[in-house]
Amino acid sequence: LQLEHAGHATAEGTGFAPRTFVTLWLAPPRGDARRLGTTAVGDDGAFATTVPIADTVPAGRHTLQVTGVDHAARARALALGVE
């Protein structure tokens, strides 16, 4: 997956607790992750959202991470390497 400066990232997923929220993060190899946004999870445990990528994000490899809770109220995180 490749992101563009001042562009957008679209993410969707399932397996989260219904009617909760997930937060999207962009983490560089070193340093602090940037919060991209938060979105609601539907009654079916799924979410879909598009978030902006700031033009201040440095070029290079990052990890796009989605965090929330699953049906058993345990922490759930999905991660995908991006460039």
pLDDT at 3: 74
pLDDT band, very low/low/confident/very high, at 1 (cuts 50, 70, 90): low
Predicted structure pTM score: 0.89
Task: Report the DSSP pairing between strands 47-52 and 8-13.
Answer: antiparallel
Whole-number pLDDT of residue 17: 98
Cα(3)–Cα(32) distance, integer angstroms: 18
pLDDT in tens, 18-52: 999 999 999 998 889 999 999 999 999 999 999 99
Distances (CA, A) of 2 to 19, 22, 29, 53, 60: 30, 22, 16, 11, 10
Q: Is the pLDDT of residue 57 over 90?
A: no
Q: Give the percent of the chain with pLDDT over 70.
A: 98
d(CA 42, CA 28): 29
